Chains A and B, each alone.
Chain A
Amino acid sequence: EPEVTQTPSHQVTQMGQEVILRCVPISNHLYFYWYRQILGQKVEFLVSFYNNEISEKSEIFDDQFSVERPDGSNFTLKIRSTKLEDSAMYFCASSDVGTDNTEAFFGQGTRLTVV
């Protein structure tokens, strides 16, 4: 079964450093998303991406965050200058462009720890 893959599974970084989280969405999907989950809390939407541009972003997704689809398979989330409160699980998701198919498939996540 096709799946969304994320790397790395765990990233430890020092406060103020830049991190890039990587995702390979399902190959025929065209909508891509990033979500985050702070430990013990619910999954929160960060950003959606379609046709090489951001289609929607939440208030969490400030100027420190950016997304990119550098090639035909990868989708990345960059945090420019990490803060302690950026520590969370980050999930990538993708969905198909079907007329009635709204299911989003989630990756296993990257655990980001900012120290």
Chain B
Amino acid sequence: GENVEQHPSTLSVQEGDSAVIKCTYSDSASNYFPWYKQELGKGPQLIIDIRSNVGEKKDQRIAVTLNKTAKHFSLHITETQPEDSAVYFCAAIKTSYDKVIFGPGTSLSVIP
């Protein structure tokens, strides 16, 4: 089955710097790659996603890139703020309504 790896497991950045989280997946049939932010005591919240027919997507300070050939995808957060501190999960989904396969998560700390 699908396996999603994620690096780094922890990341500390100074406020205003950029943060990059990288993921790989194993199943070439995966077509949808959401990113979730999980704050303490809460459920995962979708922050951005990318589909297999797109190489890059941007939403304000957040951007995702996808390299389907290499089975890599990345999350970029620019101008980080303390409220960006959370655990971020990348994920892969094969087809509509299929289960979400999560990566192990990255704990991001933004230091004021």
Contacts and interface: CB of A to CB of B under 8 A. Distances in A.
Interface of A: 4, 31, 33, 35, 41-45, 48, 50, 55-56, 58, 91, 93, 95, 97-109
Nearest to A103: B46
Contacts of A108: 41-43
B93 A91 contact: no
Nearest to B105: A42
B101 A91 contact: no
Contacts of A105: 46
A103 B45 CA distance: 10
B61 interface: no
Contact of A101 (B43, B96, B102): B96
Contacts of B97: 31, 48, 50, 55, 95, 97, 102
B99 A33 contact: yes
The winner among B42, B45, B89 for most chain A CB atoms within 10 A is B42
Interface of B: 32, 34, 36, 41-46, 49, 89, 93, 95-105
A48 B95 CA distance: 13
Contact of B44 (A43, A101, A102): A43
A91 B34 contact: no
17 contacts: A42-B102, A43-B89, A44-B102, A48-B99, A55-B97, A56-B99, A91-B43, A93-B100, A99-B96, A102-B32, A102-B96, A103-B34, A103-B49, A106-B36, A106-B43, A106-B44, A108-B43
Nearest to A35: B100
Contacts of B103: 42
B49 A43 contact: no
- Residue among B32, B43, B93, B103 having the largest count of chain A Cβ atoms under 10 Å: B43
Contacts of B49: 103
